[in-house]
Amino acid sequence: MTILADAAADAGPPTSPPAQRRGRLPGCVRIGLLLTPALTVVGVFFAGGVAQAIAQSFGYQPSLPGARISTDAYTALWSDPAVRASLLLTGRVAVVSTVLSAVLGVAAALTLRRLGRSRAWVTGVFQANLAVPHLVGALCMLLLLSQGGLLSRLTHAVGLTASPTAFPAVTNDRFGWSIIAEYVWKETPFLTVIVLATLSRGLQDLETAARSLGASRSQRLRHVTLPILTPALAAGSVLVFAFAAGSYEVPYLLGRPYPATLPVVALQYYNATDLTSRPEAMAVAVLITVTSSAIVAAYLTILARLSRRAL
């Protein structure tokens, strides 16, 4: 007891709760310090890259003699009909792929949720293509959907087409059907995983309460299930849209040389031996960023309004 009393006397009076609180950092400062490494990487590689692209799109090339600051690159792009066609193709492919993936992802998640013991292995089979690279998926679409592919040969074998080449051209086509098919095939399981994670967070209790109050199945879907799924679905859809609008390898393999998607056009400008075309390449990159941001903002606004209306 004497030893304990001496140790307590040496340690001094106990620290009061206000003193402990004064020694702690505010929550926002602590979170900011913890996120500093990740924010530094994002700031250097994303913000720095965007700033450099904007500067070069206006002609900032200190190492190139005769270069001057101007808007010539944007004027040249606006007057080029190939770039306008590429803009429409990129927007169409990204929007259609995102909407189809979101609809199919929600439908698949709601269906998988109803399964019993077989849910685990069915979900595993459904999500098996998540580990497949997009380039491999594009090659699979080419072997499956091209006029010399598996589907064209099957339709010829059963007498639906006169020859494999008579199969409708859905690869390297003007609309971008095969590009959309590859994105939907890859991104639907990704959105299904996100929706399934949201469905397991107490949604069953809310649906049970709504059912006990007399809500029908469609009313529970519109007023309970979909509003809860909307935030996670919107976040996942933004990722899908950003990838579909900025991806290069899939449209390069499955698309046409004209019109090509904007990432393909940007790389064509960038790989030109004439360095004076570098501002056009950066202007295309800036155009992709601005267009994607505008479409994502409109998409999130529409989803938020639909969610509030449903509530």
The answer to the question of residue 49 being in a domain is no
Say how many domains are in the chain.
1
The residue among 32 and 136 whose pLDDT is bigger is 136
Report, as an integer, the average pLDDT of 76-80: 85
The answer to the question of residue 105 being in a domain is yes
The answer to the question of residue 44 being in a domain is no
Domain encompassing residue 78? 67-310
Q: Which candidate, 192, 89, 179, 193, places its Cα nearest to that of 134? A: 179
Least confident range from 9-13, 127-131, 180-184, 188-192: namely 9-13
Based on the number of CB atoms within 10 Å of its own CB, is 181 exposed (0-12), middle (13-18) or buried (19 or more)? buried
The answer to the question of residue 4 being in a domain is no
The answer to the question of residue 238 being in a domain is yes
Q: Look up the pTM and report it.
A: 0.77
Separation of alpha carbons 226 and 144, rounded Å: 35
Q: For residue 310, what pLDDT is reported?
A: 56
Q: Compute CA distances 250 → 88, 100, 141, 148, 175, whole Å.
A: 17, 17, 10, 19, 14
First to last CA, the chain: 65
| 190-217 residue pLDDT tens | 999 888 888 876 777 888 888 888 888 8
Q: Which candidate, 54, 48, 90, 85, places its Cα nearest to that of 71? A: 54
Tokens, residue 247: 């991806």
The answer to the question of residue 62 being in a domain is no
Q: Which candidate, 123, 141, 121, places its Cα nearest to that of 132? A: 141
The answer to the question of residue 41 being in a domain is no
CATH number of the domain that 175 lies in? 1.10.3720.10
Q: Compute CA distances 141 → 28, 172, 217, 262, 266, whole Å.
A: 48, 11, 37, 21, 24
Residue written as token pair 């700033």: 51
Q: For residue 2, what pLDDT is reported?
A: 45
The answer to the question of residue 230 being in a domain is yes
Instruction: Please say whether the beta carbons of 102 and 185 come within 8 A.
Output: no
Instruction: Please say whether the beta carbons of 132 and 182 come within 8 A.
Output: no
Q: Name the residue type at position 42.
A: V
